[in-house]
Amino acid sequence: MPQPPREPGPTTTPVHVIGAGPGGLAVAAALGRRGVRTVVLEKSNDVGAAWRGHYDRLRLHTTRRWSSLPGLRIPRSAGRWVRRDDFVSYLERYAKHHRIDLAHGVEVSQISRAPEGEGWVLEANGGRVLRAPAVVVATGYNHTPLLPDWPGVEGFTGRLLHAGDYRAPEPFAGQDVLVVGVGNTGAEIAADLAFGGAEHVRLAIRTVPHIVRRSTLGWPSQASAVLVRRLPVGLVDRLCRPIERAVPDLTRHGLPRPRTGLYSRVREGAIPVQDVGLVKAVRKRLVHPVAAVVSFDGAAVNLADGTSVTPDTVIAATGYRRGLEPLVGQLGLLDGRGRPLVHGRQSHPAAPGLYFTGFTNPISGMLRELARDAEKIAAAVARRL
């Protein structure tokens, strides 16, 4: 049973959490239970802003049990695989339940060390300058849409949009659509379009993905991921082979099985695709796998196998950047891919009191790890203060 929040001292300078998504809210709630005064800074007008912008058919790929944040469970009425809207409603209830102090409309542009060397200075919109003894950055894994710099893309005469702007299939009814990228988002959007009325759906694939069932005989794939996450990579690759074979072989449909091991790919940053309709759509020839996109030429999209297609719309499910460079880039805390060098309860020796959460993509589930990190970060901050 979680402890009720302790009242912070009236003159305490608050810890600042940047971002009112699940990671930021979980840390704020955990800090509140430890009596640490905390303010969550959020540039939008709502909690869970990124989740509100996801496509309509989205359900969590992790179970309700392992998607709840500390101190309040997602209700059973939401089902095992929680819908986007139900998860957003849960985040709203979570913020109210934990009496989280939210400052909406505050966008932090840069974090720097306080001149006297203790604590942090946050520069925000409206000329705000905020002071904090500790800061938690929780601006989200999917922060800034990434569009590849394809040659000729600026002259494409069709419609080009990022997957972050896709909501539902109805606007694409009767269209020829090319979805670029076969992560979970691209796979799900392609299936959504195929069953939602698009005339022709192609899925451009650069690297063949590992595809797994969301659950088998009631056993969720996430449970297997939690069990094996600390085992040797080669062993997990072998253990995962029967799980992969439970999915039909789509080689004759243009989607062969990968040659690399599943967990080896995970360690490279490629999470397996959970099948929520793609396999059926490919087998029914409603989604046609094609080669990767290499360039654009007017109305044509040129593919890596030398062919070209002329879609009405291209939807780029090509991922996101973390977008941390303006915020903390000057502190030397990011690696070559823009990810924090430290994560969770750790703070970098060059930046004591600055923490990051939600910038990994673990096989065991992002929300599960956010919940675990929240308690650890809160404990570390409380000890520091």
Amino acid at 318: T
Q: Which residues contact 197 (CB under 8 A, 6 or more apart)?
A: 169, 170, 172, 173, 174
Going from the first residue of the chain to its last (385 residues), give the mean pLDDT of each consecutive group of 10, the final group possibly shorter.
47 88 97 96 95 92 94 96 96 97 96 89 95 96 91 97 96 98 95 96 96 89 87 91 90 93 87 93 97 98 97 96 93 92 93 94 89 96 92
- CA–CA separation, 320 and 38 (whole Å): 28
CATH homologous superfamily of 146-319 equals FAD/NAD(P)-binding domain (3.50.50.60)
Distant-in-sequence, close-in-space partners of 54: CB < 8 Å, separation ≥ 6:
84
What residues does CATH 3.50.50.60 cover in the chain?
A: 15-143+322-384, 146-319
Can you say whether residue 29 is alpha, beta or left, with left for phi > 0 and alpha for psi between -120 and 50 degrees?
alpha
pTM for the full predicted model: 0.90
The CA distance from 385 to 379, in Å, is: 10
**Chain Cα centroid distance, residue 148:** 19
Domain 15-143+322-384 CATH assignment equals 3.50.50.60: yes
Residue that is written with structure tokens 């060390």 in the block: 113
Are 141 and 361 a contacting pair, CB within 8 Å? Answer: yes
- Helix axis angle, 233-245 to 221-228, nearest 10°: 160
Please report, as a single letter, which amino acid is at residue 17: V
Q: pLDDT at position 360, please?
A: 87
Nearest Cα neighbor of 212 from 263, 166, 285, 169 is: 263
